[in-house]
C-alpha cells in the first residue's frame, strides 16, 4: 500500500500545498475580523477545492515537464514522478482529471453561495493551472510563472475566499492577497534560480533565465520583505494591532535573503523548503493577529 501511495505523494509536491492553504486561512481570518462569524462549511469547501486545484496543477506540471523533456537527470530539484518512472503518463492524466473534477463538484456548492463570479474564478484557476506548463504559450516557460502565482495564489485566492464569506470585496482583502502572493511567488523564484542552468538547455525561459540570477535574487529579496511593508498598510485599513505579530517572523526573512545570495545548487532545495515554511509561519501569525 505504501509503495502505491508514495508516487502520488511525490507527484503532489507536498511542500507546495501551503500555497493553496494559506490564502484560504488569511481570507477567512480577515472575514472573521470584519464579521466576527464564519461559516465552516464554506471554509472547508474553499479549502478542499483550493487543495484539489493545486494538486491538479502539480500533476499537470509533472506530466508536461516530463513530456517536454524539462525534467532531466541533471536537474537539482526533488524527484519527479513521471521523470523517475514512478507514475506513467496515463496515471498522471487520470490524476489531473480526478483532481479538477472533484474541485468542480465542490465549486458547484460555492457557486450557490457566491454566484457566477465564482464560476469565472474557478474556471480561470483550473485553466491557468494547466496552461502553466501546457498549451502553445505555457506561462511557466515564458517568464509569466511569477505573475501567475502572485495573482492566482495570492490576490484571487484571498479575495475570492473573503468574498465567499462576506459577499463583499475590500481593499484590505487585496492587501492580504498581495501579502500571500508575494511569499508564494518567492518559492517559485528559488525554484527558478536553482534550475536556471538546466532551464537554459531545455528552453524554459523563466525570469532567472531571461534576466540572470542576480535579478532573481533581488526579486526574491523584495518578495520576502514586501509583506512586512504591506502589513503596515493593512493596519491603516483595519486598525488592528494584532497583525503586527507577523514581525516575529522578520528574522527568518533576513536569514532567507542572506541564504539566497550565498547558497548554490542543491543547497537551494533547503532554501526553497524554508521559504515554504516561512509562508506558513507568516500566514499563521497573520491569521492569529486577525482573529484574536
Q: Which stretch of 75-79, 141-145, 167-171, 243-247 has the lowest confidence by average pLDDT? A: 75-79
- Contact (CB, 8 A) for 229 and 235: no
In order of start, what are the domains of the chain with their CATH numbers? Answer: 2-291 (1.10.600)
The SS3 call for residue 206 is coil
> Among all chains, which residue has been given the C-alpha cell 480526478?
98
Q: Answer yes or no: is pLDDT of 73 > 60.
A: no
Higher pLDDT, 132 or 89: 89
- 199-216 pLDDT, tens digit each: 887 778 899 999 999 999
Q: How many residues does the chain have?
A: 292
How far apart are alpha carbons 147 and 155 in whole angstroms?
11
pLDDT of 91 reads: 86
pTM reported for the whole predicted model? 0.91
Higher pLDDT, 193 or 203: 193
Higher pLDDT, 85 or 22: 22
Higher pLDDT, 158 or 64: 158
**Grid cell for residue 78:** 526533488
pLDDT of 275 reads: 96
pLDDT band at 136 (very low <50, low <70, confident <90, very high): low
Q: Answer yes or no: is pLDDT of 181 > 90.
A: yes
List CB contacts of 26: < 8 A, sequence separation 6 or more: 158, 161, 176, 179, 180, 283, 286, 287, 290
Amino acid at each position: 500500500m505504501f509503495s502505491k501511495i508514495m508516487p502520488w505523494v511525490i507527484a503532489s509536491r507536498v511542500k507546495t500545498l501551503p500555497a493553496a492553504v494559506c490564502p484560504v486561512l488569511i481570507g477567512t481570518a480577515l472575514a472573521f475580523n470584519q464579521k466576527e462569524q464564519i461559516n465552516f462549511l464554506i471554509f472547508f469547501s474553499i479549502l478542499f477545492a483550493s487543495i484539489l486545484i493545486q494538486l491538479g496543477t502539480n500533476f499537470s506540471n509533472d506530466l508536461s515537464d516530463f513530456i517536454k523533456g524539462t525534467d532531466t537527470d541533471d536537474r537539482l530539484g526533488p524527484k519527479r514522478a513521471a521523470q523517475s518512472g514512478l507514475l506513467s503518463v496515463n496515471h498522471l492524466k487520470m490524476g489531473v482529471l480526478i483532481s479538477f473534477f472533484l474541485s468542480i463538484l465542490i465549486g458547484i456548492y460555492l457557486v450557490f453561495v457566491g454566484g457566477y463570479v465564482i464560476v469565472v474564478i474557478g474556471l480561470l484557476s483550473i485553466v491557468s493551472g494547466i496552461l502553466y506548463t501546457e498549451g502553445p504559450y505555457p506561462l511557466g516557460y515564458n517568464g509569466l510563472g511569477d505573475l501567475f502565482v502572485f495573482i492566482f495564489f495570492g490576490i484571487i485566492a484571498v479575495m475570492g475566499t473573503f468574498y465567499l464569506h462576506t459577499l463583499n470585496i475590500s481593499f484590505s482583502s487585496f492587501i492580504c492577497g498581495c501579502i500571500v502572493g508575494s511569499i508564494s511567488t518567492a518559492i517559485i523564484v528559488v525554484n527558478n534560480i536553482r534550475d536556471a542552468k538546466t532551464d537554459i538547455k531545455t528552453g524554459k525561459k523563466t525570469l532567472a533565465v531571461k534576466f540572470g540570477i542576480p535579478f532573481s535574487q533581488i526579486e526574491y529579496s523584495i518578495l520576502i520583505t514586501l509583506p512586512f511593508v504591506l502589513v503596515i498598510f493593512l493596519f491603516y485599513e483595519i486598525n488592528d494591532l494584532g497583525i503586527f505579530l507577523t514581525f516575529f517572523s522578520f528574522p527568518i526573512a533576513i536569514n532567507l535573503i542572506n541564504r539566497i545570495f550565498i547558497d548554490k545548487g542543491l543547497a537551494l532545495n533547503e532554501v526553497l523548503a524554508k521559504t515554504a515554511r516561512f509562508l506558513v509561519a507568516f500566514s499563521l501569525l497573520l491569521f492569529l493577529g486577525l482573529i484574536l
